[in-house]
Amino acid sequence: MPAAMAGIPLAALIKRVDRRLPLVVFAHDRAGAEVTMRRAHAAFIRLAGVAQVCILPPDQEAEFNAALPEGLGVWSGAARLYLPLSTDGDLRGARHRYVEARRMFADATAGDVFAGILSATVAATPPPAAYEAVRLELRGAGGSLDKVADRDRAIAGLTASLGRLQDELVELVVANEELEEELNQVRGSLAKSDAAEASIPYDDNVFELPDVVDSVAEVAELAQFLTGVIVHLNAPQKLDDCDGALEGGSWARSAWRALRALDAYGNAAPEFQVGFYQWCQNPTSRWSWTANAKKLAMSESESTMNAFGQARIFPVSIDVDPSGCIEMQAHIKVSQGGGENIPRIYFHDDTGGATGKVHVGFIGPHHLVPNPSKN
């Protein structure tokens, strides 16, 4: 069962570089202890044997957060996954994933997200020391002991190599995420500076748009405040699949930059409406997207449409099509590679039509929009 732990000892456990198991910490939700216990229990079942699940008592929250470096705490019903540490330098917020209470639409949400993140690391986790004695007993007297010993040494060496590679992967993902964050902050700062120099309001919205986001789910929520792009209410699909990946934070930052680019294009003066791809090559906004085949496609291949064209029919405003649906081939590739959970953003350019906006009909994992090469 999930264990309740006092704040200071729990923070000390998290900071230990010899801690081998990932640790999940739930803070109590304002909705009540029963809600928190259900979420923690669901995570405990989902992560059995893979991670330790703890619950932070409400009166220990402040002490716990104060005992950890800034950006590493947990509060208000949220949950955080603390990965094992190699050095003290691994104590950075970006490395240890966080699920806010408002994203826990089901009791199992946090457990499912953390399971997705940990799926790549389980194979690299060495067995506990006690396993050695059990292994010798299980091996028995039959067969060649020398061959078994050679096999065990080979397995141990491969496991150690896998563990090192996994640590390197985590560090690369975190470094990329930090670069994406810095890039978005610079773009946002420059856009505000440009608006100030031109003596025009940077943002007509009452809500000021952030430059950095933490999840693809947050991207979908913030999209309602954009004015040049309309994201259909049914466009977001299975976003937990995206956010549950190790690269989820980096994908979220890229997805936000992509939507901001679509928004800037949609808000550009009519004379600039030359098509989104061409606009990205010579953007009129600091928020822009990379115009190349690896990051942006304005159409699908004939083979893709023949085999999976139906999967490209997405919801759209009835002001664009009375049926409420339209075929969308143009899409943004949030990240390179063929991973099934990498986000895709499908859109329709109506800047020259009745609405004068860009319409997004799909934001979700790649596996929901298959193509022949992927399948």
Q: How far is 79 from 27, CA to CA, in rounded Å? A: 6
Tokens 């009835």, located at residue: 318
Q: What is the pLDDT of residue 204?
A: 46
In this prediction the pTM is: 0.71
Token reading at 240: 């937990």
Q: What angle do CA 369, 296, 238 make, to 5 degrees?
A: 35
What topology does CATH give the domain 3-119?
Answer: Glutaredoxin (3.40.30)
> Which residues is 362 bridged to in the sheet?
346
| Cβ atoms < 10 Å from Cβ of 266 | 23
Q: Are 199 and 273 in contact (CB under 8 A)?
A: no
Q: From the first residue on, what is the mean pLDDT of each consecutive set of 10 residues in the chain (375 residues)?
A: 88 89 92 92 90 92 91 90 81 80 84 80 55 58 58 70 66 73 81 68 61 90 94 94 84 94 86 81 88 92 93 96 96 85 95 93 95 68
DSSP lists the bridge partners of residue 346 as 331, 362
* pLDDT attached to residue 305: 94
Return the pLDDT at 185: 81
Packing angle, helices 131-139 and 145-197, rounded to 10 = 140
pLDDT at 70: 84
Element (H or E) spanning 169, and its range? helix 145-197
Q: What is the pLDDT of residue 206?
A: 45
C-beta neighbour count of 241 within 10 angstroms:
22
Which amino acid is residue 127, in one-letter code? Answer: P
What pLDDT, on the 0 to 100 scale, is given for residue 272?
58
Residue 12 near residue 67, CB atoms below 8 Å? yes
pLDDT of residue 3: 84
Q: Quick one: pLDDT at residue 197? A: 67
Q: With H, G, I as helix, E, B as strand and everything else as coil, classify residue 206.
A: coil
pLDDT at 268: 85
**How much is the pLDDT for 141?**
47
CA dist 255 and 287 (Å) reads 12
Which two structure tokens, joined as six digits, stand for 139? Answer: 């091996």
Per-residue model confidence (pLDDT) at position 219: 94
| Bridge partners, 358 (sequence order) | 229, 349
- Cα–Cα dist 144/311, whole Å: 56
Angle formed by the axes of helices 145-197 and 248-267, nearest 10°: 30
The 10 Å Cβ neighbour count of residue 18 is 6
Sheet strands (E) in 17-163: 23-27, 52-56, 79-82, 98-99
Domain borders along the chain are: 3-119, 201-368
Helical pair 109-118 and 33-46, crossing angle rounded to 10 deg: 30
Q: Residues 95, 174: contact at Cβ < 8 Å?
A: yes
Decide if 224 contacts 258 (C-beta within 8 A). no
